[in-house]
Structure 1
């Protein structure tokens, strides 16, 4: 256990709720972020470059598919994964997003719904960061409503023919394997998942540029033009929307933690600046208005972190429910954006430069707020839970 009394920002002593193993894992990922991400992130963000060379480093760090067991995966707890997500997003949302797309989405889809042959073929090298995966669900006209997707897989005598388009697909242009979700003619099964290896004829992935958010990351448009797949391409266990939704819940859980990392980093940047920046002969931290801003930030970070930890304990106990994940995703991302923006105000004009992190975090969090379920979608999930009435349509 840890004594948090020396950390004035951990006013609730939340570190005391973590085990020694959890604290050690957090420090390991925090050290990596400090040494590898922080010195380079401003340049990666400015140049709109995803540093693909860190993939095997993250594999060695043990954060790719870290909640999965076997097949070369680390087999860590949900809380440990959450702590890793928090530390990585304190560096940048784009780096945490890579880990999420790789592990929570692509690897989880193969792990939960793939055949034994598919698992053996892809998971060990994905866990090591040697191969990269993507998760192709969202379409140009079907973001929040995946049930209306138009991408279609037609069964043939020797496999499948895939046609359609996807949009905002992370890592697609560098992926070695795409997990693609498509409608089928099977009314009972409906939507199915397929594994599409890189280089398959008829697949075109185009990075979306320019972007104002998630610049140290890759999101793509994908087109599928008469893509022919063998019978081995289908994920045998994924039938209907349960397949992709089970993966989305894994990603949404990680976001609840990650957003608090971006918030904490924004707060710490503002706190440090306020202590050293002199205005009217005294530090900014000595003014009541500045202290109020810092206190309000700290309150939401502590509450959001406590919420994420509670969700993690529920998940590890096998009791976490989708509506509880929605609470974490909706609340923590919403509050993190407020914190990042407020932190920028303490930095004044200097806060609009890449010398400081808050505005970069705020820009990134606009994407985090949108993907894996918008505020509106999670509000409706919770609304249905508390009223018993689905209000998604009409």
Structure 2
């Protein structure tokens, strides 16, 4: 059985039989449970909480960590899972990416054995939900130097003050990883802030026009007290944060491929059904040209994601590898969803025809976890040996 029709060069053959079975089960869940309600929840800017047990049962959440993995798997499989999620609903893919990727990777990379044992199994079963608080109202691309949230140690307690913005899952997360500067040494440290912590407040951001089902929040921290036992014990500087982002950035590239595939599949269906001048528009040269260019972009993007994930498993992935994948693939995604919307004409802006939501969601994925410009500068630094961020 073909896992993905848009996989022109059969990259899916790299999956093991166990991984392939899990990917097919994930696809079945997404088609049966998520697709029928995705447009409705997106339109209302609400999250389908009732689907969380179902995605937990697929075993894709927390698949990267021995404390939560259900079966042996590769980075290619985990990327493919992100593709399958985003192919149907990028909002749902972002929910999984935040808790399984950003939050769990922060704990998996930066946490002590005790912290990993406490949180990774629960997060992997979605008995707890995670969020990741790095971006701030006044610090986005410059967050490495411009982080304003502070942490002051008082005995065995840290007092956190500051604000975070665009934090996915934060309105309902059980734990949010908050990154703050230590006022004693000016170095970045990570903290596991539980949802009932006094002084921690998360307010939903309204009026979004992309990833509308994702519950992004503005977070304020006002003298929020966090015990030393909830400080990520293996994080000592922003270099450790960068390591986490390197591991998750490739996952965003995979999600971008999924968005492109979702729009492409909808355009192929539409081209077969829509008639103009007495025949299906799929018989017209201009439409076929758009579809062929879209398939080419998807195929090139898949190849880049596959190799970046293989290098991750081999321990050879550097910052420039994940940055190049994220920058290139999200740019190709943006072009692909644009072409697919063109194929649908005016119907391309209506949710009912399968492209409009992908078209809107692509804009957020294009920007988060590093804009194209910033990721290209990471690559440029690797090429020239010179930093050009400022």
Quickly name the TM-score band, shorter chain normalised: over 0.9
Q: Call closer, same or farther: CA 1:269–1:374 in 2, change over 3 Å.
A: same
What is the match of residue 113 of structure 1? 110
Given candidates 51, 71, 85, the residue that maps to 1:88 is: 85
Picking from 134, 137, 140, the partner of 2:134 is 137
Match of 1:184 in 2: 182
Structure 1 unaligned segments of length 5 or more: list them.
Answer: none
Task: Report the TM-score when normalising by structure 1.
Answer: 0.95
Q: Summarize the alignment of residues 22-171 of structure 1 with structure 2, pairs less than 5 Å apart.
A: 22-71=19-68, 76-146=73-143, 147-171=145-169
1:380 aligned onto 2:377: yes
Q: Where do 1:195-344 residues align within 5 Å?
A: 195-344=192-341
Structure 1 runs (4+) deviating above 4 angstroms are: 71-75
Judge which range, 12-21 or 240-249, deviates more: 12-21
Alignment CA distance shift 1:158-1:319 (3 Å): closer
Q: 1:139–1:166: 8 Å Cα contact kept in structure 2?
A: yes
Counterpart contact for 2:99–2:123, Cα < 8 Å: yes
Is the CA contact (8 Å cut-off) linking 1:104 and 1:248 kept in structure 2?
no
CA RMSD of superposed structures (Å): 1.7
* SS of residue in 2 equivalent to 1:235: coil
Q: d(CA) in 2 for partners of 1:334 and 1:120?
A: 38
Cα drift, residue 8 of structure 1: 6.8
> Contact (CA 8 Å) 1:159, 1:228: kept in 2 or not?
yes
Deviation of 1:22 after TM superposition, in Å, equals 3.2
Return the offset for 1:151.
Answer: 0.4
- Does the Cα contact within 8 Å between 1:384 and 1:390 map onto a contact in 2? yes
CA contact (8 A) 1:263 1:336 kept: yes
Q: Secondary structure at the match of 1:162?
A: strand
What is the rounded CA distance, in whole Å, between the counterparts of 1:368 and 1:193 in structure 2? 24
Cα distance in structure 2, aligned partners of 1:293 and 1:378? 27
Q: CA deviation at 1:385?
A: 1.1
2:133 is the counterpart of 1:174: no
Structure 1 residues 92 and 23 mapped into 2: Cα distance closer, same or farther (>3 Å)? same
Please state how far the C-alpha of 1:285 moved relative to its aligned partner.
0.7
> In terms of mean alpha carbon deviation, does 55-64 or 30-39 score higher?
55-64
C-alpha distance in 2 between matches for 1:60 and 1:291: 39
- Per the normalisation by structure 2, the TM-score is 0.96
* 1:275-299, Cα deviation, whole Å (9 max, x unpaired): 1111001110111111101110011
Aligned counterparts of 2:128 and 2:71: Cα–Cα separation in 1: 16
CA distance in 1, matches of 2:161, 2:202: 14
Question: CA 1:239–1:228 in 2, change beyond 3 Å: closer, same or farther?
Answer: same
- Further displaced range: 286-295 or 344-353: 344-353
Specify every segment of 5 or more residues in structure 2 that has no aligned partner in the other structure, as ranges.
none
Q: 1:3 deviation in Å?
A: 7.7
Q: Which residue of 1 aligns with 2:343?
A: 346
